[in-house]
Chain A
Amino acid sequence: MQTVATKAPVRGLWSGDEAVALAALDGEVALGTGYPGTPSTEILEAFSAAGGRAQWAPNEKVALEVGLGAAYAGARVLVTMKHVGVNVAADPLFTAAYTGVDGALVLVSADDPGMASSQNEQDNRRYAVAAGVPMLEPASSQEAYDFTLAALELSGRWRIPVILRMTTRVCHSKSVVVRRERPLPPAPPPSFVRDIRGRVMVPGFARPAHRKLREKLAQIEAWAETSPLNRVIRASPALGVVTNGISFQHVREAAPEASVLKLGVVYPLPVEALRRFAAGVERCVVVEEGDPVILEAMRAAGIPAEGKTERFRFGELSVERVRRILAGDDSPEPPPAKAKPPELCEACPYHPVYGCLQRMGCIVAGDIGCYTLGVMEPYQAMDTCVAMGASVGVGLGLRHVLPEEQARKVVSIIGDSTFIHSGLNGVVEMVYNPPATGHVLIVLDNGTTAMTGQQEHPGTGRTMEHAATGHVSIEGMARAAGIRNVDVVDPVKDPRGFEDLLRKRLASNDLSVIVARRPCILAAADIRHYEKLNSEKAALSAAPGCSACGSPDAV
């Protein structure tokens, strides 16, 4: 671990995501796991590149469960995902708060206010409150580094999962970071200690576990009251601003004269510190992006404070918007600058698929990925896009109730990584509750998680570092689930064949999965390169008496 940590310079210009990765490395995190999602993706990539052990899970729920197992065994663990990924992982999260952990478990929730690349702008500070899990929030790359270490420490001390909440601006902005040497005491080696009452959440054990969780949270709240992660900057008593995360930077720039209470611990909130701060200033304003979480908590505690008007709930804050909030200016804001919307790459293999869906007037239940761009001109060939994997269920629901001539036009469309993530569950539903008109699911398999920057997934058969590993076959899974018609076609090589096949399948009352397979144009060269490297490696290790290990039995 030490040699790895010395690879990167001690002081550098790093993104918030990279800073989290470096803290994980310096804090002796034994395992990083997660599912790619903007703006969180780069954390595990950087952790892996710096020498940490990182792996992509098929989805966020599995990632958290793997992380939890490792933390039960005493390891320090980092689990990363975007805000909507926490919805997928919420089931284990809420009960992990009861069981607690043995080593340390930090869950990074990378929120996307303003929806730079997301389907909603949910404020995951609500999750900390709902699950009863402490949450820290950094405002810069340096704090991303420091708070990751603080979160590991907090998690270890109170044996509780801790959420590190980041937002797009903190994840993707670069700023100066100074690393620390041996910032945490050495991690003890993992070993299993039986704790049936603590980890088997049957009602009889879960009831005391809930009480124990609330006791821990009360202790953590008392700790938060004096924690240096919450900072007071005393300036003019005329104006006091309570703020968190990136908003802190905007506040300091917009109102350098203001006194500021900057919250690093956003749950549990230090209510008495907030009360003292508010009492010491003439006017107390809460400046927070997204939902009025801090404001509501202050008001519930009877602390008078001003918030922002409703228009500032939407989107990111900025220096200009904070100036308006502090000036009580609720006039309409200038419209955002005109920007060219994203589109499918010119040579994207999905073009013929969307052309075909458009010509045939299909009702398209869509999903999350590059291919969501099929909704744009010139195709407008997508009718729904809700959540990862939702295309299958939504398509089935449409088929169940629509009149037959419309039901026959319904197609679900999903990408390869999304299929593995949670489309599989929909396929099981398709087989179990088939609509009378059957159904057609198109899997757009471009051999990579393209939207988030070409990450590997179980369907590619390569690890995060592109080494060969077990391969999950999309068509094999569909067949195994009981789908009668499973076809694999190349929509670029044979667009006519694709269209004929789709017509035939839509006309039947059968269940069909069509895998439209053609590598992403941006990833194709890399994929060929990885395949070549891996087959060379396999050939080398299969050769009898190979020089790599000198063993004739090498496999």
Chain B
Amino acid sequence: MPSSRVVNVVFAGLGGQGVIKASDVLADAVFRAGHDVKKAEIHGMSQRGGSVTSDVRFGPEVLSPMIPAGEADFLVVLAPSQVENNLHVLRPTGVLFPPDLVPESALRNKRSLNVALLGALSLHVDLPEEHWREAIAASLPERLLQVNLEAFEAGRAAERARAAAGGRHGHP
């Protein structure tokens, strides 16, 4: 991604899936890399199993914390039911990371899907790997660290496989 303009990433899913956690990790990783960053989501009622989205924007200078429709570079979705209703956020050239990108069998704990999809995203974002690891470590209890680092790798592998298979990157 060119670093001269703001990069927009939308995370979507259902309350309790780790949508906000995933956006926290990305925001922290890019902060560690020295970018300006803003992250926005709505808490509250949405935590009770309803739809949740979280926006992360980073670059030289970020103004609004909210990503306008049609301007997201990446859309990371954790629940199959939340793909269709969020596609409108993507640019025509934007990349979707659907929940089935990483097969459940590749995850030791399926609750690490959020971190696995971050792994897939990491191949598209120009960030030193140590910042990803530091951000993951900072946001999780130590007992969950190993399983999530494995999930991160599983996500990277899945994304490489998608690229090798000539997987379409824009809207499905």
B109: interface (CB < 8 Å): no
Q: Which of A173, A342, A345, A451 contacts B65 (CB 8 A)?
A: A173
Interface of A (DSSP majority class): loop
B172: interface (CB < 8 Å): no
Q: Kindly provide the distance from the CB of A8 to the nearest chain B CB, expressed in whole angstroms.
A: 13
Q: Which of B31, B44, B50 contacts A38 (CB 8 A)?
A: B44
Q: Which of A172, A249, A334 contacts B43 (CB 8 A)?
A: A172
| Residues of chain B in range 98-148 having any CB-CB distance to chain A below 8 Å | none
CB <8 Å contact, A116 and B50:
no
CB <8 Å contact, A39 and B44:
yes
Proximity bits, A102-126, B CB within 8 Å = 1, else 0: 0000000000000011000000000
CB <8 Å contact, B62 and A175:
yes
Proximity bits, B63-94, A CB within 8 Å = 1, else 0: 11110110000000000011001101000000
A360: interface (CB < 8 Å): no
CB <8 Å contact, A116 and B43:
yes
Given A172-B43, A340-B14, A345-B48 contact (CB < 8 Å): yes
A409: interface (CB < 8 Å): no
B38: interface (CB < 8 Å): yes
Proximity bits, A343-377, B CB within 8 Å = 1, else 0: 11110000000000000000000000010010000
Give the distance in Å from the alpha carbon of A346 to the alpha carbon of B69 in the complex.
33
B163: interface (CB < 8 Å): no
A332: interface (CB < 8 Å): no
Q: Which residues of the partner chain B approach A172 to less than 8 Å between Cβ atoms?
A: 40-43
Q: Which residues of the partner chain B approach A462 to less than 8 Å between Cβ atoms?
A: none
The interface size of chain B toward A, counting residues with CB under 8 Å, comes to: 34
Q: Which residues of the partner chain A approach B31 to less than 8 Å between Cβ atoms?
A: 12-13, 176
Q: Which residues of the partner chain B approach A487 to less than 8 Å between Cβ atoms?
A: none
A239: interface (CB < 8 Å): no
Across the interface, name the chain A residue whose C-beta is closest to B44.
A117
Across the interface, name the chain A residue whose C-beta is closest to B31.
A13
Give the distance in Å from the alpha carbon of A3 to the alpha carbon of B47 in the complex.
35
B150: interface (CB < 8 Å): no
Q: Which of A116, A249, A320 contacts B46 (CB 8 A)?
A: A116
Q: Kindly provide the distance from the CB of B27 to the nearest chain A CB, expressed in whole angstroms.
A: 6
Given A13-B27, A175-B62, A175-B65, A168-B42 contact (CB < 8 Å): yes
A400: interface (CB < 8 Å): no
Q: Which residues of the partner chain A approach B39 to less than 8 Å between Cβ atoms?
A: 13, 173-175
Q: Which residues of the partner chain A approach B69 to less than 8 Å between Cβ atoms?
A: 320, 334
Given A318-B66, A320-B68, A340-B42 contact (CB < 8 Å): no
| Residues of chain A in range 431-488 having any CB-CB distance to chain B below 8 Å | 451-453
Across the interface, name the chain A residue whose C-beta is closest to B42.
A116
Q: Which residues of the partner chain B approach A12 to less than 8 Å between Cβ atoms?
A: 31
CB <8 Å contact, A174 and B27:
yes
Give the distance in Å from the alpha carbon of A319 to the alpha carbon of B31 in the complex.
23
CB <8 Å contact, A340 and B43:
no
Give the distance in Å from the alpha carbon of A246 to the alpha carbon of B51 in the complex.
23
Q: Which of B45, B49, B82, B88 contacts A117 (CB 8 A)?
A: B45
CB <8 Å contact, B85 and A176:
no
Interface of B (DSSP majority class): mixed
How many pairs of residues, A versus B, come closer than 8 Å at their CB atoms? 105
Give the distance in Å from the alpha carbon of A169 to the alpha carbon of B41 in the complex.
8
Give the distance in Å from the alpha carbon of A13 to the alpha carbon of B28 in the complex.
7
Give the distance in Å from the alpha carbon of A334 to the alpha carbon of B69 in the complex.
10
CB <8 Å contact, B64 and A250:
yes
Give the distance in Å from the alpha carbon of A346 to the alpha carbon of B49 in the complex.
9
| Residues of chain A in range 26-45 having any CB-CB distance to chain B below 8 Å | 38-39
Given A169-B65, A176-B31, A249-B64, A342-B43 contact (CB < 8 Å): no
CB <8 Å contact, A340 and B51:
yes
| Residues of chain A in range 161-198 having any CB-CB distance to chain B below 8 Å | 168-169, 172-176
CB <8 Å contact, A169 and B36:
no
A429: interface (CB < 8 Å): no
CB <8 Å contact, A169 and B40:
yes
CB <8 Å contact, B14 and A337:
no
Give the distance in Å from the alpha carbon of A12 to the alpha carbon of B86 in the complex.
30
Q: Which of A168, A252, A453 contacts B63 (CB 8 A)?
A: A252
CB <8 Å contact, B63 and A339:
no
CB <8 Å contact, A344 and B38:
no
Across the interface, name the chain B residue whose C-beta is closest to A254.
B64
B9: interface (CB < 8 Å): no
A-B contact pairs, 26 of them (CB 8 A): A13-B31, A13-B39, A39-B43, A117-B42, A117-B44, A117-B46, A172-B40, A172-B43, A173-B65, A176-B37, A246-B64, A250-B64, A252-B63, A253-B64, A320-B69, A334-B69, A337-B85, A337-B86, A339-B51, A339-B85, A340-B14, A341-B51, A342-B15, A342-B45, A343-B49, A452-B44
Please list the 10 inter-chain residue pairs (A to B) with the smallest Cβ-Cβ separation, ordered nearest first: A117-B44, A342-B50, A342-B48, A339-B51, A38-B44, A173-B65, A253-B63, A116-B42, A173-B40, A174-B39
